[in-house]
Amino acid sequence: MTETIRLGDIEISVTRKAIKNVHLSVHPPGGRVTLVAPTGTRLEVARAFAITKLGWIREQQSRLREQAREAPRQFVERETHHLWGRRYLMSVRYEDAKPSVALDHRRITLTVRPGASSAKRAEVVHQWHKSLLHALVPVLIDKWEKRLGVKVSGYFLQRMKTKWGSCNHRAGHIRLNTELVKKPRDLLEYVVVHEMVHLLEPTHSDRFVAILSEHYPCWREARAELNELPLTAERWQE
């Protein structure tokens, strides 16, 4: 059951779970606030805690509002694109040949047929992004299966508007946002590890945090960096 606290113009969704400590979060892109409290916590107690954190909440919401935001990409000549945390200029070639994408140290070269629409150019690049992720994700899964003692039965890549990743712990599947190809590789690894830990603990409980902290101690820094990088026009959250 979810309840709501209002502190002036701030609305906080409150849920209770079998955890030891209170978890207060401000979520991108819009600054949505959630509070997860131990089972049995009275709403008045949760409200009093939230009041003590009001300054922090406003600071986080302000940071999100000021966060860099990319304009929608048109996939045209000399447009800036991100790949693995670096910026590249795009070069577009129109040739009567199979569409392709090539990368060198300064430029992403997109080759499409004459008259290809913006949507077609975007789809060619998206498929290329997926191929780059398909080359890297299985390596990371294999590495962390051994460390965590779990088995991923399958992974999926897709555009996701509100998450960097998700996990179906019953089926053993993980899903990853294709936007991760734009972030540094170590942040992709963090998201992979995060979702794989959910195979051991499906909720964001104290146990989940303990497992993640044991195996990936810099996860808080990775999460902060992921949310501080430029976001796309649709804006995403972890």
Express each pLDDT in 214-226 by its tens digit.
Answer: 999 999 889 888 8
**Average pLDDT of the residues in 210-215:** 96
Q: Are residues 124 and 61 in the same domain?
A: no
Angle at alpha carbon of residue 128, lines to 226 and 161, rounded to 5°: 40
Q: Is the pLDDT of residue 2 over 90?
A: no
Does residue 190 lie within any of the structural domains? yes
**52 lies in the same domain as 142:** no
55 and 138 housed in the same domain: no
> By CB neighbour count within 10 A (0-12 exposed, 13-18 middle, 19+ buried), where does 125 fall?
buried
The verdict on residue 91 lying in a domain is no
Q: What is the pLDDT of residue 161?
A: 75
Strand order in the sheet with 32-38: 3-7, 10-17, 32-38, 23-27
Verdict on whether the full-model pTM lies above 0.75? no
- Residue linked to tokens 């000021």: 66
Choose the final residue of a domain: 66, 92, 108. Answer: 66
In this structure, the strands spanning 107-112 and 86-94 are: parallel
Residue 10: inside a domain, yes or no?
yes
Residue 61 clears pLDDT 60, i.e. is over it: yes
* Structural domain includes residue 99: no
User: What's the domain range around 60?
Assistant: 3-66
Residue 96 inside a domain? The answer is no
Average pLDDT, the chain: 90
Distance CA 149, CA 238 (A): 24
Number of domains the chain is built from? 2
Same domain, 53 and 131: no
Is residue 100 in some structural domain? no
CA distance 234 to 221: 24
What's the confidence (pLDDT) of residue 237?
A: 38
Task: Give yes or no: residues 145 and 208 share one domain.
Answer: yes
Q: Are residues 125 and 60 in the same domain?
A: no
The label of the residue with tokens 């966060």 reads 67
Q: Is residue 89 part of a domain?
A: no
Phi-psi sector, 94: left (phi>0), alpha (psi -120 to 50), beta: beta
Alpha helices (runs of H) in the chain, residue ranges in sequence order: 43-52, 54-66, 118-148, 185-197, 206-215, 219-228
Judge whether 103 lies within some domain. Answer: no
Could you give the CA distance from residue 227 to residue 238 in angstroms, rounded to a whole number? 8
Please give the C-alpha separations between residue 23 and each of 44, 45, 77, 111, 170, in angstroms, as whole numbers.
16, 13, 46, 48, 25
The answer to whether the beta carbons of residues 194 and 140 sit under 8 Å apart is no
Is the predicted pLDDT of residue 236 greater than 50, yes or no? no
Q: What is the mean pLDDT of residues 98-108?
A: 94
Predicted confidence at residue 64, as pLDDT, reads: 75
Answer with the one of 66, 81, 97 that is the final residue of a domain. Answer: 66
Q: Identify the pLDDT of residue 4.
A: 94
pLDDT (mean) for 189-205: 96
Measure the CA–CA gap between 23 and 41, rounded to whole angstroms. 13
pLDDT tens-digit map of 73-86 = 889 999 999 999 89
